[in-house]
């Protein structure tokens, strides 16, 4: 059934997946060590989180796929979706630089060898919206769909957009959050001594939908929670490192634990 627009509709979080240099976290395993993180996530392997095989993935896309898989599993979302449910389940992703490593690799090859012989596979994996497209395809999400680029605010803006999409009736459920990879190209563009990488995604849905499928929520989303997360981005950077577009999504995660 399609929800009608309602400014008072209650939106809840039924699951989340966080991958960072501090470790992984879900609603069943919420506590990450309180420590200052720095650099690349060690020993990250996509096959730990995802069964399907990929021929090529930018690291940003890999992190997004892994965190989305954790979030959907944490929320007890049953896959694959039926056709109607798939069109009411959306995805919103925030990132600052996206697949900039692949973008540079494609550009370097094009300059070196000419655009006629540049690798088209790399080109298709170089967009800012490549991670969200891969997640939508992988998990069968056919609903409300958008990518937001707003610097370190990207992840939280994606969560706000997902929240609003459900509240006004564009979707019944949305997986949303932020991702940023730490790669040589990002290091060149952002030579920050406290740089880090992370992906943090949350499953939001109407309280009515969550109750209908018998799932407990971890929190209710409202303006107070969103504003608290925005005020806590500095603490998130201290804990996880400068994680670009994922930074404010990590602040949202921290606000959930308070």
DSSP conformational letter for 206: E
Assign residue 225 a region: left if phi > 0, alpha if psi is -120 to 50, beta otherwise? alpha
Position 87 confidence tier, pLDDT thresholds 50, 70, 90: very high
Q: Is 23 exposed, middle or buried (0-12, 13-18, 19+ CB in 10 A)?
A: middle
Span 54-77, average pLDDT: 96
State whether residue 75 is helix, strand or coil.
coil
Mean predicted confidence (pLDDT) in 231-257:
94
pLDDT value of position 192: 72
What does the pLDDT look like over 181-203, one tens digit per residue?
999 999 898 887 788 999 999 99
pLDDT digits (tens, 9 = 90+) for 149-172: 999 999 999 999 999 999 999 999
Encoded tokens for 87: 């069109």
- Is the pLDDT assigned to residue 3 strictly greater than 60? no
- Per CATH, the number for 11-25+38-97+132-196+219-257 is 3.40.47.10
Tens of pLDDT, residue by residue over 95-140, are 999 999 999 999 998 898 888 888 888 989 999 999 999 999 999 9
Domain boundaries, the chain: 11-25+38-97+132-196+219-257
């Amino acid at each position: 059934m399609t929800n009608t627009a309602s400014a008072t509709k209650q939106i809840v979080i039924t699951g989340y997946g966080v991958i960072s240099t501090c470790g992984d976290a879900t609603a069943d395993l919420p506590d990450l060590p309180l420590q200052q993180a720095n650099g690349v996530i060690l020993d990250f392997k996509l096959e730990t989180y995802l069964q399907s095989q990929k021929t090529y993935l930018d690291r940003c896309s890999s992190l997004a796929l892994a965190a989305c898989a954790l979030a959907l599993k944490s929320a007890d979302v049953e896959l694959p979706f039926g056709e109607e449910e798939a069109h009411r389940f959306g995805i919103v992703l925030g990132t600052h630089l996206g697949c900039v490593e692949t973008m540079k690799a494609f550009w370097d090859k094009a300059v070196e060898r000419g655009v006629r012989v540049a690798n088209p596979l790399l080109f298709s994996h170089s967009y800012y919206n490549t991670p969200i497209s891969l997640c939508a395809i992988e998990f069968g999400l056919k609903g409300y769909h958008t990518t937001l680029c707003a610097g370190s605010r990207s992840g939280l803006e994606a969560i706000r957009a997902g929240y609003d999409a459900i509240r006004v009736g564009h979707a019944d459920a949305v997986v949303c959050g932020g991702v940023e990879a730490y790669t040589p190209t990002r290091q060149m563009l952002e030579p920050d001594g406290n740089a880090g990488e992370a992906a943090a995604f949350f499953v939001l849905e109407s309280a009515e939908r969550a109750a209908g499928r018998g799932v407990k929520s971890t929190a209710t989303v409202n303006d107070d929670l969103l504003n608290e997360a925005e005020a806590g981005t500095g603490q998130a950077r201290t804990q996880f490192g400068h994680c670009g577009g994922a930074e404010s999504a990590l602040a949202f995660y921290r606000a959930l634990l308070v």
